[in-house]
Amino acid sequence: MALHVINEARRCLNCKKPLCRKGCPISTDIPQMIRQFLDGRIDEAGEMLFENNPLSVICSLVCDHEKQCEGSCILGRKGSPVHISSIENYISERYLDKLRPVRPPRNGRAAAIIGTGPAGLTIAVILAQRGYDVTLFESHDRIGGVLRYGIPAFRLPKSILDVLQERLQELGVRIRPNTTIGGALRTADLFRDGYSSVFIGTGVWRPNSLGIRGESLGNVHFAIDYLCNPAVYDLGECVSVIGAGNAAIDAARTALRQGARKVTMYARKPVLAASPREVEYARIDGVEVQTCVRPLEIRNEGVVFRRLEYDDAGNMREVEDSDWLEPSDAVLIAIGQGPKDKIISTSTGIDVNERGLVLTDGQGATTHPGIFASGDVVRGARTVVEAVHYSKAVADAMDSYMQGLPREE
């Protein structure tokens, strides 16, 4: 691995106008990272990456690099781009393992972070580094949100999240697992107990439904629920996955690893929405794919599909007399998610849009003073790196807001 990373780093052209950095949603200084690495200053490279992106080690594994940094590398125009993700992962993982953060002096103010996904973790790191007393509230038993409960371990080892939790605790961050805000505790209770601001980063955990007959049958499950704990599901040998995104890919590959013998993905459009690299991995694993179909009904014995056709302009029409029953033991539905409304329904003054997403200004402030939000609960399902990028600005806004509050005597 180290030799591969060194060889890849040596291929970098050190462009004067690095397109790789432009292609990165969080503007990682990739040329600087590579120069420091090759000069033997790996700790400096790791520190730079962490300061720019506290979840750098995670993004190095789960980002869609083909559309971002690596897809922008000039070497990729005539050959293979520099494998930037491998270099970043090598540096970031080593840095996180060695990092022993020094807890800064406390500034006398406290922030509550609801949700420990990419947005919540990013803001927790930044505010803790600035001296705030930070408490993370997580409805599950472990931190990570979608990183732990939505991305399979074969894509993102959970040990990374465990190490990150240790570093957070060393910074003084307190963690309350198995705690849902909107139940016994509400946002009003947080302000009552002395938190200067509250951050909502609860993600999108309510699965979208197909709206067809049969979705409540015992052989049907939503992929986002399945991925939380696949070991408790008995899907049988033949599984149908309805969906075309990365969550559908993750569910399909996981089902094979859990013992299914045949897993087929079904998508409406001719091309899957998932990352091309993830689609390739899925095919290598043995996942079959059928495109240009839509489900009409789910039955105990399988799914009734209808074929679709598209013209050159992308217009779709349904093919008459093409319906058929595809036998399967279980069906996984993976067509996106929306936010749950427990916090909103138990709080006053937090406006949402027609999709239930929290409305904020450009800096993450909601319509309730002192409450901020970012990540998927604001923008819908997006990538990890996009959540981190936006959340850095929100952390700055929370810092400014709390510093502007009158101090208690």
Token duo for residue 343:
């916090």
DSSP single-letter state for residue 104: P
**Separation between Cα atoms, residue 358 and residue 75, nearest integer Å:** 41
**Separation between Cα atoms, residue 10 and residue 151, nearest integer Å:** 32
Neighbours of 212 (CB within 10 A): 15
> For residue 92, what pLDDT is reported?
97
The pLDDT tens digits of the residues spanning 80-115 come to: 999 999 999 999 999 999 999 989 999 999 999 999
The pLDDT tens digits of the residues spanning 333-360 come to: 999 888 776 787 778 888 888 888 889 9
> For residue 395, what pLDDT is reported?
97
One DSSP character per residue, 43-73 reads HHHHHHHHHH-TTHHHHHHHS-GGGTHHHH-
Q: Work out the pLDDT band at 375, boundaries 50, 70, 90.
A: confident
The pLDDT tens digits of the residues spanning 306-327 come to: 999 999 888 999 999 999 999 9
Q: Work out the pLDDT band at 407, boundaries 50, 70, 90.
A: low
Q: What percent of the chain is modeled with pLDDT above 90?
A: 84
The three-state secondary structure class of 262 is: strand
Q: What is the CATH number of domain 110-205+339-403?
A: 3.50.50.60
The pLDDT tens digits of the residues spanning 260-279 come to: 999 999 999 999 999 888 99
**Separation between Cα atoms, residue 93 and residue 89, nearest integer Å:** 6
- Residues near 311 by beta carbon (within 8 Å), at least 6 away in sequence: 317
- Residues near 41 by beta carbon (within 8 Å), at least 6 away in sequence: none
Token duo for residue 134:
């930070």
Q: Are 296 and 304 in contact (CB under 8 A)?
A: yes
70 pLDDT exceeds 90? yes
> For residue 97, what pLDDT is reported?
95
Domain map of the chain by residue range? 2-98, 110-205+339-403, 207-337
Average pLDDT in the chain: 93
406 pLDDT exceeds 80? no
DSSP single-letter state for residue 75: G
> For residue 349, what pLDDT is reported?
86
CATH architecture assigned to 207-337 = 3-Layer(bba) Sandwich (3.50)
Q: Do 2-98 and 207-337 fold alike per CATH?
A: no
> For residue 346, what pLDDT is reported?
76
209 pLDDT exceeds 60? yes
118-129 and 384-403 helices cross at what angle (nearest 10)?
40
The pLDDT tens digits of the residues spanning 151-185 come to: 999 999 999 999 999 999 999 999 999 999 988 99
52 pLDDT exceeds 60? yes
CATH class of 2-98: mainly alpha
387 pLDDT exceeds 70? yes
Q: Are 60 and 89 in contact (CB under 8 A)?
A: yes
Of the candidates 323, 220, 242, 221, the residue with the CA atom closest to the CA atom of residue 289: 242
Q: What percent of the chain is modeled with pLDDT above 70?
A: 98
Token duo for residue 350:
């937090």
> For residue 408, what pLDDT is reported?
56
**Separation between Cα atoms, residue 401 and residue 348, nearest integer Å:** 20
378 pLDDT exceeds 50? yes
Q: Work out the pLDDT band at 409, boundaries 50, 70, 90.
A: very low
Longest dimension (CA), the chain: 77
What amino acid occupies position 164? L
